[in-house]
């Protein structure tokens, strides 16, 4: 019989491991742990675009540590080398002109559809042509002479200038430098449609290798940043945390089993529900979400230390004079109630709004359920009581009812006082839950600032299924915002309609173009007295004539050029909706800005302050999570009270849990960390584990031996769990650290308070309800 | 950019005999200030007649340059470090050279030559220098690939201690010739 069970178990696990080896996909997108802005589809689309669009695959480079000429030399060589790796890099820029202008040739015929304000009268044309002569005399001829005969008004240059006028830092020796000319800067677009960390890792490696081959005898240093690089760093950190934690857990378990059970055989057996739980959890998460997040894996592995509780309970309750199945049957009702409570607590995370937390919910619930089932129906058939020798010990704590009340007040008040005395409580900054270290964020901020990269803090969003309507709305909003710029309240407006005007606007511009006859006549008059050869302007006359009948420029026409990187962050498709994002920068006065918006309700409707909106979203989410948590706590309390059949008894069971929960909240605050949504979510684990401890400590014990068994099992569980989470509390990944701080302190306090508060109620078996017998 | 390269031509310098670029630049490095007259001719397919400008050029160490066009109309250009000021029709506008690399590269080159900064000249250009019985010649090709795509060759000719001519050829067929005369 055990042999058949073993074969069935082995087959199932084997199939699952095979499935995982073929399909398991670990991801590291921290956005999955951010709330989805379900109620604001535009904001959700924008955040998705920021997290996965061209901005996410752009790398910022800083070269420093040498003089400006050497830096410019390395910058130029680096660009030349990287641009050859077209399979990895889409674009490598180190100056405003480092576009392959030839790649923009396809847009040149559309130049008269792209800008306004051209004057075709003879005097205006004459002035323009005279200005070109001045250009030739003053050195600007090097720039403009190519355009004299086909675009004397420099309309295409004006179009490009409008797009790039505030873009990029200062230029020296032909390359970008920071304001102090201390470092050369580059902007690189990685050849990837979305944020693929393997591609980003490869891109970073290629850049570093190329740089190192170019600067072998140079003192130049390279710094790389950008969302992709930071995500790669986070992935690496998470992997390191997972590895360290795994090694730590193995060592911890070996030590614990060696001392507590004096049996490595027990450790191997304990691994069976654990291995089963991890395997089933991964399969379920992968099957449902088509991926498993690295943080889920790391937290989940720690979480599954809870799974270890179940075999621990079994091992600690083994008796040489009864079969393991019978031993387990004795404690099964309590184990089932405890396990079910924890599973219910974690299932409440499903559909929480965080994709990552939904994964965690599935991972935890499946893992705990599996561990419970394997412990109940498989493990007893394999374990031999003779080979497991739990080192039972006794703690004869006795407290009078008054003493219990005093202890309760003390243990409950301590965390409350800590929380009340603190200036901080709720975390309102989204940066605080970012897994990216503050130092890396600072490097990124400085590079972004030096590169004059566009800020996405204030945007005006328009959306519609019809791209033409979106562009027309963008043009309207931009036109309105122009007043803000004229008033000096903002320094710049950037709208996607600058790159791609609406068809309506392009048609209007076509209608304003002069006829061939008008232009010829005006040109002839303008050329009078100037040294130009009239016939040389034939290409210009032809191109203006052609412009009148051109089909307006479309989205795909721009996307096929290097301007795509400029357009896509501001005009993109989300589902079947087109979204346009107009940015404004350098707001002089927020008060004036907001006052102006109040006077323009139509413009205000489309305004979003990203940071505030995101933090608002997070606050809403925290409140919702807190309410959800209170709901779960209430539900479990009712279940326990109903199961036990006594409100008073239920209260004594729930008191240690409450103390643990308060302590779980107080510990981060004591460490100077404000409570964020991840602390709240970690409380669910404290709740589940706390109930387990409290239920077992309050379980009726027929004799001292059985009480010692409870104490043994729970002590080992509390020790391993709180130790594992203490390690996590010092993780460099803030999300993991938050969970670690809360769980470690919460579990420890649950254990201590449950031990103390259950002491007087475990003296007489007759005092206990039937449910535990 | 094209324009400033021929500032070199008008400079009246007392060069000692030099057989290498280093020696020539070393002689330039002893120059504190100088001035001269220029006539420049811009030839292009789109012009019926070549565009001729005349005026005076001034240099003062370190790196200060002025170009005063007096014919056909008055245009003043002053360079001080990274700043270029252009005055035309009583309107002055300033340009940060670092933001106009096409224009700046020539100025950096000129500053390097007049300051006698051989290192900077080599870093920005591929120079080719030769001497013969009839005088000396210096060819400059910019190392910046984007600029090198438009300028084919910068060719400077001189005799003894005088720069007599600068010729700049562009890939689009334009040609700029600057001839220098000196006050003595």
Q: What is the pLDDT of residues A705-740, one digit of tens each?
A: 777 888 888 888 888 888 888 888 888 877 788 888
Which segment, A50-59, A71-80, B17-26, B110-119, is predicted with the most confidence on average?
A71-80
Can you give the pLDDT at residue A749? 93
**Per the CB < 8 Å rule, is A73 touching B123?**
yes
Minimum-distance CB partner of B101 among A73, A139, A174: A174
Q: In this predicted structure, which of A647-661, B20-34, B160-174 has the lowest mean pLDDT?
A: B160-174
Q: Please tell me the distance from the alpha carbon of residue A132 to that of residue A530, in angstroms, as a whole number.
A: 11
Mean pLDDT of B141-146: 80
A-proximal residues of B, 10-49, CB under 8 Å: 40, 42, 44-49
Q: Please tell me the distance from the alpha carbon of residue A423 to that of residue A529, in angstroms, as a whole number.
A: 79
Minimum-distance CB partner of A139 among B4, B45, B170: B4
B150 touches chain A (CB under 8 A): yes
Q: Please tell me the distance from the alpha carbon of residue A395 to that of residue A582, in angstroms, as a whole number.
A: 68
Smallest Cα distance from B145 to chain A, Å: 9
Q: Please tell me the distance from the alpha carbon of residue A317 to that of residue A328, in angstroms, as a whole number.
A: 7
Residue B62, preceding bond cis, omega within 30 degrees? Answer: yes
Can you give the pLDDT at residue B6? 30
Mutation site for A-interface testing, chosen from B76, B146, B169 by largest number of A Cβ within 10 Å:
B146
Can you give the pLDDT at residue A772? 39
Which residue in A has a C-alpha nearest to residue B169's C-alpha? A142
Minimum-distance CB partner of A145 among B44, B143, B144: B44
Evaluate the CA torsion angle A532, A534, A538, A540 in order and state its sign.
positive
Evaluate the CA torsion angle A701, A703, A705, A707 in order and state its sign.
positive
Q: Which residues of B touch A150 (CB under 8 A)?
A: none
On whether ipTM exceeds 0.85, the answer is: no
**Per the CB < 8 Å rule, is A141 touching B46?**
no
Q: Please tell me the distance from the alpha carbon of residue B34 to that of residue A498, in angstroms, as a whole number.
A: 48
A359 neighbors A289 (Cβ within 8 angstroms): yes
Which of A739, A687, A747, A669 minimizes the C-alpha distance to A241? A739
Which residue in B has a C-alpha nearest to residue A97's C-alpha? B146
Task: Pick A680 or B47 by higher pLDDT.
Answer: B47
A78 neighbors A213 (Cβ within 8 angstroms): no
Can you give the pLDDT at residue B139? 86
Mutation site for A-interface testing, chosen from B39, B54, B81, B98 by largest number of A Cβ within 10 Å:
B98
Which residue in A has a C-alpha nearest to residue B68's C-alpha? A138
Q: Which residues of A touch B123 (CB under 8 A)?
A: 69, 73
Q: Please tell me the distance from the alpha carbon of residue A256 to that of residue B51, in angstroms, as a whole number.
A: 93
**CA B154 to each of CA A141, A590, B21, B78, B125: distance values in angstroms, whole numbers, following the listed order:** 15, 53, 16, 22, 10
Residue A229: CA count within 13 A, CB half-sphere: 22
Minimum-distance CB partner of A533 among B46, B106, B151: B46
- C-alpha of A587 from chain center: 28
Buried b (16+ CB within 10 A) or exposed e, A78-89: bbebbbeeeebb
Q: How confident is chain A (773 residues) per 10-residue block, as mean pLDDT? A: 77 92 77 59 68 76 89 87 86 72 83 92 95 84 79 90 72 81 89 79 92 82 88 81 82 85 85 90 91 77 74 86 88 88 81 75 91 91 81 71 85 90 81 76 82 74 92 94 90 89 96 94 94 93 94 92 84 87 84 91 87 78 82 89 86 92 92 85 85 82 72 86 85 81 92 82 43 38
Q: Please tell me the distance from the alpha carbon of residue A279 to that of residue A277, in angstroms, as a whole number.
A: 5
Give backbone dihedrals phi and psi of A27, rounded to 5 degrees, phi first.
-120, 165
**Per the CB < 8 Å rule, is A531 touching B49?**
yes
Can you give the pLDDT at residue A63? 93
Minimum-distance CB partner of B99 among A73, A148, A170: A170
Minimum-distance CB partner of B145 among A80, A143, A149: A80
Q: Is the pLDDT of residue B17 over 50?
A: no
Mean pLDDT of B102-127: 78
Can you give the pLDDT at residue A766? 42
Which residue in B has a C-alpha nearest to residue A150's C-alpha? B46
Minimum-distance CB partner of B1 among A73, A142, A148: A142
Q: Which residues of A touch B52 (CB under 8 A)?
A: none
Which of A85, A2, A749 minimizes the C-alpha distance to A377? A2
Q: Please tell me the distance from the alpha carbon of residue A361 to that of residue A594, in angstroms, as a whole number.
A: 42
A-proximal residues of B, 85-144, CB under 8 Å: 86, 88, 96, 98-106, 108, 119-120, 123-124, 143-144
Can you give the pLDDT at residue A768? 39
Q: Which residues of A touch B143 (CB under 8 A)?
A: 73, 76
Can you give the pLDDT at residue A473? 94
B170 touches chain A (CB under 8 A): yes
Mean pLDDT of B84-109: 76
Q: What's the alpha-carbon Rg for chain A, to the nearest Å?
A: 34
Mutation site for A-interface testing, chosen from B46, B48, B174 by largest number of A Cβ within 10 Å:
B46
Tally A–B CB contacts below 8 A.
107
Can you give the pLDDT at residue A142? 67
Minimum-distance CB partner of B48 among A76, A134, A532: A532
């Amino acid at each position: 019989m055990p042999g058949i069970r073993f074969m069935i178990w082995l087959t199932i696990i084997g199939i699952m491991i095979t499935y995982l080896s073929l399909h398991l996909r670990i991801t590291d997108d921290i956005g999955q742990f951010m709330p989805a802005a379900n109620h604001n589809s535009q904001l959700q689309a924008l955040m998705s675009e920021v997290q996965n669009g061209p901005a996410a695959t752009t790398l910022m480079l800083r070269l420093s540590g040498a003089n400006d000429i050497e830096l410019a030399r390395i910058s130029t060589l680096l660009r030349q080398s990287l641009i050859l790796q077209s399979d990895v890099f889409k674009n490598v820029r180190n100056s405003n002109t480092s576009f392959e202008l030839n790649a923009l040739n396809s847009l040149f015929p559309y130049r008269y559809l792209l800008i306004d304000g051209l004057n075709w009268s003879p005097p205006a044309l004459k002035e323009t042509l005279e200005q070109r002569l001045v250009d030739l005399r003053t050195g600007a001829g090097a720039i403009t002479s190519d355009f004299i005969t086909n675009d004397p008004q420099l309309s295409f240059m004006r179009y490009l200038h409008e797009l790039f006028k505030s873009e990029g830092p200062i230029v020296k020796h032909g390359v970008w430098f920071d304001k102090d000319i201390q470092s050369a800067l580059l902007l690189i677009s990685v050849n990837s449609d979305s944020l693929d960390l393997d591609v980003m890792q490869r891109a970073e490696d290629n850049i570093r290798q190329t740089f190192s081959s170019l600067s072998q005898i140079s003192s130049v240093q390279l710094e790389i940043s950008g969302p992709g690089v930071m995500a790669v760093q986070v992935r690496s950190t998470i992997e390191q945390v997972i590895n360290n934690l795994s090694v730590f857990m193995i060592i911890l378990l070996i030590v614990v089993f060696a001392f507590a059970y004096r049996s490595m055989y027990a450790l191997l057996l304990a691994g069976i529900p654990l291995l089963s739980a991890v395997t089933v959890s991964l399969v379920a998460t992968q099957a449902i979400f088509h991926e498993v997040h690295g943080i889920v894996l790391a937290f989940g592995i720690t979480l599954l230390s809870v799974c270890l509780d179940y075999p621990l309970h079994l091992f600690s309750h083994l008796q040489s004079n009864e079969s393991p199945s019978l031993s387990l049957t004795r404690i099964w009702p309590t184990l089932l109630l405890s396990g079910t409570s924890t599973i219910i607590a974690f299932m409440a995370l499903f559909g929480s709004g965080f994709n990552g937390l939904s994964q965690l919910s599935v991972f935890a619930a499946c893992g705990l359920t599996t561990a419970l089932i394997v412990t109940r129906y498989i493990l007893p058939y394999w374990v031999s009581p003779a080979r497991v020798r739990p080192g039972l010990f006794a703690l004869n704590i006795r407290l009078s009812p008054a003493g219990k009340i005093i202890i309760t007040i003390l243990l409950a008040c301590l965390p409350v006082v800590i929380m009340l005395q603190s200036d901080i409580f709720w975390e309102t900054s989204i940066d605080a839950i970012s897994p990216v270290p503050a130092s890396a964020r600072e490097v990124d901020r400085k590079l972004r600032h030096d590169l004059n990269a566009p800020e996405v803090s204030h945007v005006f969003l328009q959306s519609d299924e019809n791209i033409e309507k979106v562009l027309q709305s963008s043009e309207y909003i931009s036109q309105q915002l122009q007043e803000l710029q004229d008033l000096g309240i903002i320094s710049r407006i950037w709208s996607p309609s600058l790159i791609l005007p609406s068809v309506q606007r392009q048609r209007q511009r076509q209608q304003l173009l002069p006829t061939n006859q008008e232009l010829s006549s005006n040109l002839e008059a303008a050329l009078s007295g100037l040294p130009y050869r009239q016939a040389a302007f034939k290409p210009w006359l032809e191109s203006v004539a052609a412009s009148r009948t051109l089909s307006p420029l479309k989205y795909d026409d721009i996307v096929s050029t290097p301007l795509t990187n400029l357009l896509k962050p501001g005009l993109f498709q989300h589902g079947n909706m087109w979204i346009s994002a107009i940015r404004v920068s350098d707001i002089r006065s927020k008060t004036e800005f907001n006052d102006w918006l109040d006077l323009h309700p139509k413009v205000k409707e489309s305004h979003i302050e990203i940071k505030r909106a995101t933090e608002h979203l997070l606050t809403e989410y925290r409140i919702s999570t807190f309410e959800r948590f209170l709901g779960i706590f209430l539900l479990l309390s009712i279940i326990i009270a109903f199961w036990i059949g006594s409100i008073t008894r239920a209260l004594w069971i729930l008191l240690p849990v409450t103390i643990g929960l308060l302590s779980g909240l107080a510990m981060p605050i004591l460490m100077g960390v404000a409570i964020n949504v991840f602390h709240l979510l970690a409380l669910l684990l404290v709740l589940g584990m706390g109930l387990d401890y409290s239920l077992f400590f309050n379980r009726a014990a027929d004799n001292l031996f059985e009480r010692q068994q409870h104490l043994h099992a729970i002590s080992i569980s509390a020790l391993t769990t709180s130790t594992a989470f203490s390690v996590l509390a010092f993780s460099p990944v803030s999300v993991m650290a938050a969970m670690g701080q809360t769980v470690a302190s919460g579990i420890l306090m649950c254990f201590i308070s449950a031990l103390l508060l259950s002491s007087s109620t475990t003296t007489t078996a007759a005092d206990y309800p039937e449910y535990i017998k | 950019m094209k324009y400033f390269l021929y500032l070199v031509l008008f400079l009246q310098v007392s060069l000692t005999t030099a057989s290498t670029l280093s020696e020539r630049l070393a002689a330039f490095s002893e120059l504190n200030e100088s001035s001269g007259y220029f006539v420049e001719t811009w030839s292009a397919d789109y012009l019926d007649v070549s565009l001729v400008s005349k005026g005076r050029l001034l240099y003062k160490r370190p790196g200060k340059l002025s170009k005063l066009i007096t014919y056909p109309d008055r245009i003043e250009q002053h360079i001080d470090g990274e700043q270029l000021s252009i005055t035309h029709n009583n309107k002055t506008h300033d340009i940060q050279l670092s933001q106009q690399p096409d224009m700046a590269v020539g100025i950096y080159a000129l500053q390097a030559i007049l300051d006698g900064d051989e290192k900077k000249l080599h870093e920005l250009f591929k120079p080719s220098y030769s001497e013969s019985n009839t005088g000396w010649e210096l060819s400059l090709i910019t190392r910046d690939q984007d600029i090198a795509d438009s300028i084919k060759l910068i060719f400077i000719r001189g005799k003894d201690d005088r720069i007599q001519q600068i010729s700049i050829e562009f890939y689009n067929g334009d040609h700029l010739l600057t001839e220098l005369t000196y006050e003595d």
